[in-house]
């Protein structure tokens, strides 16, 4: 495994943990403050649904990083496009994946979670990846 790939995954893991904690806090706060309760949405679903896309984003960032020197801007634009697509397919869709109609409570619960995960991935992952120490360069004689 290359050092660059390791740095991308390490940054994605850290960003994913922070985004997951923020989303779990929002999940709990929405239940307490807004009395939003979806029995089918469990805390571990929130954790997994936040962590997996960000870890996948780390792999995608690595691939973009190896292909172009404009990796940050390409990754940010791609992340924002995916955010819009996920909002249209999920919380803003009139019918939920289980076939039930979408409600305002579901939108209040999930739209901030989508935005937290997307913005953390788009803006924190590239920065934190570059805060990792660079790979040592081999000296040629």
Residue 138, in any domain of the structure: no
Residue 139, in any domain of the structure: no
- 137 — pLDDT class (breaks 50, 70, 90): low
SS3 39: coil
pTM here? Answer: 0.85
Kindly tell me if the per-residue pLDDT of 132 is higher than 70: no
pLDDT tens, residue by residue, 48-95: 999 999 999 999 999 999 998 899 999 999 999 999 999 998 888 888
Residue 89, in any domain of the structure: yes
Residues 6 or more apart from 111 whose CB is under 8 A from it?
87, 91, 92
- Return the residue matching tokens 């679903």: 45
Q: What is the mean pLDDT of residues 93-114?
A: 86
Residue 137, in any domain of the structure: no
Residue 87, in any domain of the structure: yes
Q: How many domains does the chain have?
A: 1
Residue 50, in any domain of the structure: yes
Residue 12, in any domain of the structure: yes
Print the domain residue range for 41: 3-131
Residue 33, in any domain of the structure: yes
């Amino acid at each position: 495994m290359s050092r660059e790939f390791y740095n991308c995954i390490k940054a994605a893991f850290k960003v994913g943990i922070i985004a997951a904690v923020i989303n779990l806090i929002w999940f709990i706060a929405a239940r307490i403050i807004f009395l939003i309760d979806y029995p089918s949405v469990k805390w571990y679903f929130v954790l997994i649904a936040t962590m997996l896309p960000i870890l996948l984003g780390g792999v995608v960032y690595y691939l973009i990083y190896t292909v172009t020197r404009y990796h940050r801007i390409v990754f940010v634009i791609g992340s924002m496009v995916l955010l819009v697509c996920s909002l249209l397919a999920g919380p803003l869709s009139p019918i939920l994946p289980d076939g039930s109609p979408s409600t305002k409570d579901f939108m209040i619960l999930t739209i901030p979670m989508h935005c937290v995960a997307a913005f953390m991935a788009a803006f924190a992952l590239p920065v934190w990846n570059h805060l990792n120490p660079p790979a040592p360069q081999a000296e040629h004689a």
